[in-house]
Structure 1
Amino acid sequence: MGIRHLDVRRLRYFIKIVEQGSFSKAAVALQVAQPALSLHVRNMELDIGKPLLIRSQQGVVPTECGSALLNKARTIVEQIDALAEEMKGTDEHPSGQVSLGLSGTISQVLAVPLMQEVNRIYPLIQLRIVEAMTGFFLDWLLQGRVDLAVLYNDPDDKKLASKHVQADELCLFGPTDGAHGRGQHLHFDASVVPYCDIATLPLLLPSRTHGLRRILEEEATRQQIAFINVVEVDSYTSIIRMMEAGMGYAILPINAFDQHAHREGVRMWRIENPALTRSLYLVRSISGSRAVTAVERVCKETFFNLAQTARCDTFPFTEPDLQTFIRPSAGPQAL
């Protein structure tokens, strides 16, 4: 035998065993006899020629080979399940699960109206929102962990297609009195702050693998300045909480104003010389299902509707191009 003899049933069993951390718990969850599960795993290890699990009295954990198989198995099983759901639908009534990756700042504005529209127009589609920093989504798209994602840059990959959907302004957020826990007290009386002055502030920024940080670093390089006091935080929620606790300043899209700058002790400054904007791209695999295409269409329309109805002073969306995806994406890679 060989690895070619692995079937979907065995992969499902293996995934459940690792998730449960023991054969006995997996047997209960799967309603399969424990000896049968043990036999399946032993046969898989014989087929592959390497151990997949480390067994102990505390349970089981995957080996390095087992972890690699687990990631691939999850992708395969999810794709098979998605295909099965898609086959149940038609062009007029697409069905199946679609996962959409959104950053925290985008999710707080887009998730609710998008979910409402998808449920209304395509009741057979199960939309799953995956919230994370945008720097993770490119790999997740290529791995099949998400079907669609909103990125800060147009990724250069022939396996993906993208469309520009929004550009919005980046602003500085921080404590009203300028006090913070990492250095001297700072205060800006004006409603704007020059970009060169931001470099001296204690900043709460995502790491360099993320699109927002890349925008900021590129402008800093152009102006020949450097950020000298940065805490790297790869969590939008943590950045907000640390900023609200007075631990530093955050650079966020202006659409964060309604949710954060109206809280006691928090204010917003516009950035000048230059004003900074971020472009957002809706990205998907070029081999997406009918359900993915349907959600993609609703997502673009929702961006457009937000641009039409939002208040210009707090949410200045640009109007997206609503043409259908017709080309693979090109341009600098989103990180």
Structure 2
Amino acid sequence: MDLRQLEYFVNVVQSGSFSRAAVALNLAQPSLSRQVALLEAELGQRLLVRTGRGVTATDAGDALLVHARVMLDAARRAHEELRDMGTSPSGKVIVGMPPRVALGLSVSLVQRFRERFPRAVITVLEGLSLSLRESLIAGRMDMALLFDPPPSPQLEYTQLMRERLFLVAPPGHELPPRVGLSTLANYPMVLPSAPNAIRSLVDAVLLPRRVELQVLAEVGAVNTVLALVASGVGSTILPESAIVVSGYSDTLPYAPLGPPSIWNALTLAVPMARPATRLTRETAQLLKELDFRGRVTSLS
């Protein structure tokens, strides 16, 4: 199959129209239609159906679209790899991070990236670990930092650091030096809502111990959780880095959980099937070299 024809086909599907795709490709519409027709003739399948509002892909077209994107991406990466051999790599790399990790690391990462790869561009996307993992598998980013990701045959994981979880209480509340897991049921809780990685980890540890939390409210953003704790609504469970980065470490009492302690892990995830370029390999190495403990957490 001709890569140029595949590119034309992908653009038509994404645009939903031959005319819009022709404008985006700077190509005459009859030429674009002819190239797609040649592709259909070669494959012996109808790929597109014209409708009153444009065009849509057939079942065969949807199947080809998946393979076309993979082949075009591989071709682009091969071109970048060969072009950049012996020089500073160019191109673009997309890195996903949870918000509090991005807050602690983005400045250092971008600064070091610019020093090492002056001809390249880095994009940092923020989101929950679950959504970042889905985007990584779907091919929308090159690598991601994830908290406690589940096993996946599509991803390769490298653990970068571990953090202990703490109980965080409202102002003026006295906590013991360590908070036993069995006593957590005594604390009214404001927790991150599922599918937050911390919430999933806590639930997984407490369920077999038959510890049922008094959950008063569930909130998506960690900063909102801590604001509710600061207002006296209830306690919460978070890593120390979340407390420190948010600025509440001097106003809210907190103590480590245990025994046994609960730890979460920050992991670098890269897709196994996607060919790595020199830029993505060296960016992954750059992430491994960053001082995560000094910038994301202040654990002793």
Specify the alignment match of 1:15 in structure 2: 10
In structure 2, relative to structure 1, the CA distance for the partners of 1:30 and 1:219 (3 Å cut) is same
Contact in 1 for aligned 2:77/2:276 (Cα 8 Å): no
Distance 1:107 1:294 in 2: 19
Uncovered stretches (5+) of structure 2, i.e. residues with no partner: none
Distance 1:228 1:53, change over 3 A: farther
Equivalence for 2:240: 254
Structure 1 residue 114: Cα displacement: 0.5
Cα distance, 1:31 vs structure 2: 0.9
Superposed counterparts of 1:131-150, under 5 Å: 131-138=126-133, 140-141=135-136, 144-150=139-145
* Cα separation, partners in 2 of 1:220 and 1:67, compared to 1, 3 Å: farther
Asked if the contact 1:164–1:282 (Cα under 8 Å) also holds between the matched residues in 2, the reply is yes
Of 102, 106, 114, 1:111 maps to 106
Which runs of structure 2 are paired with 1:8-157 in the superposition (5 Å)? 8-90=3-85, 93-138=88-133, 140-141=135-136, 144-153=139-148
Provide Cα deviations, 1:141-184, integer angstroms capped at 9, x if missing partner.
5554433222334875677554321112334568x58xxxxxxx
3-state secondary structure, aligned to 1:257 = helix
Query: Which residue does the alignment assign to 2:297?
Result: 315
Consecutive unaligned residues in structure 1, runs of 5 or more: 178-187, 319-335
Counterpart-to-counterpart distance in 1, 2:287 and 2:122: 11
Q: Distance in 1 between matches of 2:107 and 2:163?
A: 19
* CA offset digits 1:76-121 (Å, max 9, x no partner): 2222212211212135633333222222222221222111101111
**For the structure 1 residues 273 and 258, does the alpha-carbon distance in structure 2 shift closer, same or farther, using more than 3 Å as the test?**
closer
The 5 A counterparts of 1:228-243 are 229=215, 238-240=220-222, 243=225
Deviation, 1:256, is 2.3
Q: Structure 2 length normalisation: TM-score? A: 0.75
1:203 aligns with 2:188: no
Output the amino acid matched with 1:189.
Answer: H
CA deviation map 1:109-135 (0-9, x unaligned): 122211110111121332232333223
Instruction: State whether residues 94 and 294 of structure 1, in contact with CA within 8 Å, keep that contact through their aligned partners in structure 2.
Output: no
Distance, in Å, in 2 between the alignment partners of 1:173 and 1:53 is 56
Q: Report what 2:258 is aligned to.
A: 273
With over 3 angstroms needed to count, the CA separation of the structure-2 counterparts of 1:241 and 1:256, relative to structure 1, is: closer
Provide the C-alpha distance between the structure 2 equivalents of 1:282 and 1:104, rounded to a whole number of angstroms.
15
Query: Does residue 1:189 correspond to 2:184, yes or no?
Result: no
Q: 1:282 aligns with which of 268, 272, 281?
A: 268
Check the 8 A contact 1:169/1:316 in 2, yes or no: no
Counterpart CA distance in 2 for 1:70 and 1:21 is 13
**Cα contact 2:6–2:68 (8 A) shared by 1:** yes
- Tell whether 2:217 aligns with 1:222: no
Change (3 A) 1:47 1:170: farther
1:292 and 2:292 matched: no
**Aligned-residue CA RMSD in angstroms?**
3.8
Conserved 8 A contact 1:86-1:96: no
Q: Show the counterpart of 1:183.
A: none
Tell me how far 1:217 sits from its aligned partner. Answer: 2.5
Distance 1:227 1:53, change over 3 A: farther
**Cα distance change of structure 1 residues 242 and 61 upon mapping to structure 2, 3 Å threshold:** farther
Q: Distance in 2 between matches of 1:95 and 1:218?
A: 43
